[in-house]
A and B are shown apart, each in its own frame.
Chain A
Amino acid sequence: MTTALSHYLDSVRENLRLDLSLESEVIHELETHIEDELQELKDTGLSEEEATSTCLTLLGSAKLVARQIYETHSQGSWSQALFAAMPHMLFGLLFALNWWRGIGWLLGMLVLVLSMVVYGWWRGKPAWLFPWLGYSLLPVVAAGLLLLYLPQGWSWVAILLYIPMALLLVYAITVKTIRRDWLYSSLMLLPLPIIIGWFLAVEPVDKLPEYWLQRLQDFAPWIGLSFLALGVTVATFIRLRKRWLKVSVLVMSGLITLTMVAYYTEGRLSIPALLILIIVMLLLLLSPALVERTLRHAGQRPSV
């Protein structure tokens, strides 16, 4: 096959964003099609160059072909939507039903999240895995926040050691996810701005942990509600076919849930803090697209 046609197939591959086995099937099928087309054109007396040029014209835009094939596979089933929404729903119920104070429930949730991540990874990273993957990183973030409460001096040592390692881990997982599809990375990071928002709204300065727990208890139903809203978002995301709609749903959901945090905490989250959180949310949800572009330009074709 000529270089121009190989480039065409590479362009289709880059824009397909399907899982690896399906991607190679699609590319192989197009490859056999192109070979047949090329052969027939050459049999009519065209030179290699002319045949390639005609073939490329007949094929049409690589991006369009890739997008149309992507949209036939991008809609998950209802069971996949339910699986994907489940961690948000469970997390929401943990607060809505006041189970968050029970160590048994928390441990059970942690075991379930880790089991689902291992199972999903083993099953070839389907779309429903990514919300679970996001929650599996939560203990890493929570441990980092708890380091702030270590005795004076020790917390700095722990933070200096812990934060780079934690960031490295989160970065490695995020990049691996982006290589599959940057949208899944956004899906994974979706609850992060809301968790930060609730943390900022609930956390008192220079107050006893008991007071902190009391505040958490007060806000628990609203925390639960915001995570249930994320569950609905994720189920919608999985059921949609078009990428721009998927992006819009994530951004809209981020805006709505952060507004919910500000509204229910009755001014504890200041306007500047809310605006900063919205910017953080937009960065978290949309920057994976830029990282994907950078990875591509660096010659590391996203393919996991």
Chain B
Amino acid sequence: MAQRRELIKGSIDSLLLCLVVQQPMYGYQIIKELERRSQGYFKFKEGTLYPALHRLEEADLIQGKWQTLPSGRQRRYYHITEKGLYSLAAKRSQWLDFLVAMNLIIQPASD
């Protein structure tokens, strides 16, 4: 469990950027979407999500904007910025390189 937490901790920024690049999302929606798409593997707590979102916003990688829904309720939607797009491209490339290298080592030899 602790190992999984450490793995997730190192990937939070990439995960969040990957989600908001597809469409602007608000905090609760992000938690649900991550859980759904990872088939329950990623279960973020608020104490993990909001500091991460605020950190990405401080770094100008995403931008939060309040929007009022037709029901009158308000949501803070996070949009990716241009800097965020560049950062995501770099993170994706790093991640794929890492994955390929890990697979080469971790997978049992076929012959």
Instruction: Please classify the interface of chain B as helix (H, G, I), strand (E, B), loop, or mixed, using the class held by over half of its residues.
Output: helix
Question: What B residues does A35 contact at CB under 8 A?
Answer: 73
Q: Do the beta carbons of A71 and B51 come within 8 Å of each other?
A: yes
Contact of A37 among B28, B55, B64, B73 (CB under 8 A): B28
- Give the docked Cα–Cα distance between A176 and B48 (Å): 32
Query: Nearest chain A CB to B110's CB is how many angstroms away?
Result: 44
Give the size of the chain B interface in residues (CB under 8 angstroms).
17
Q: Do the beta carbons of B47 and A72 come within 8 Å of each other?
A: no
Question: What B residues does A37 contact at CB under 8 A?
Answer: 28
A52-72 vs B, CB cutoff 8 Å, 1 = contact: the mask equals: 000000111100110011011
- Give the docked Cα–Cα distance between A30 and B45 (Å): 12
Contact of B50 among A26, A36, A58, A61 (CB under 8 A): A26
Q: Do the beta carbons of A72 and B51 come within 8 Å of each other?
A: yes
A29 touches B (CB below 8 Å): yes
- Give the docked Cα–Cα distance between A29 and B53 (Å): 12
- Give the docked Cα–Cα distance between A33 and B25 (Å): 12
**Interface size bracket, A side:** 20 to 34
Query: Nearest chain A CB to B13's CB is how many angstroms away?
Result: 12
Contact A65 B74, CB 8 Å, known A72-B58, A73-B58: no
Query: Nearest chain A CB to B95's CB is how many angstroms away?
Result: 23
Contact A32 B75, CB 8 Å, known A73-B54, A73-B58: yes
Q: Which of B2-40 contact A (CB under 8 A)?
A: 26-28
A28 touches B (CB below 8 Å): yes
Question: What B residues does A60 contact at CB under 8 A?
Answer: 45-47
Question: What B residues does A65 contact at CB under 8 A?
Answer: 46-47, 50-51
Contact A69 B74, CB 8 Å, known A33-B46, A59-B45: no
Interface centre among A29, A32, A69 (most CB of B within 10 A): A29
Q: Do the beta carbons of A29 and B27 come within 8 Å of each other?
A: yes
Interface centre among B27, B45, B46, B73 (most CB of A within 10 A): B46
B76 touches A (CB below 8 Å): yes
* Nearest opposing residue in chain A for B29, CB measure: A36
**Contacts A33-B27, A65-B51 given; 19 further ones with Cβ under 8 A?**
A26-B50, A29-B50, A29-B64, A29-B76, A30-B46, A30-B50, A32-B26, A32-B75, A32-B76, A33-B46, A35-B73, A58-B45, A58-B46, A60-B46, A64-B47, A65-B50, A71-B51, A72-B55, A72-B58
Top 6 nearest A-B pairs (CB, nearest first) are A68-B51, A72-B54, A36-B28, A65-B47, A72-B55, A60-B47
Using a CB–CB cutoff of 8 Å, the interface residues on chain B facing chain A are 26-28, 45-48, 50-51, 54-55, 58, 64, 73-76
Using a CB–CB cutoff of 8 Å, the interface residues on chain A facing chain B are 25-26, 28-30, 32-33, 35-37, 58-61, 64-65, 68-69, 71-73
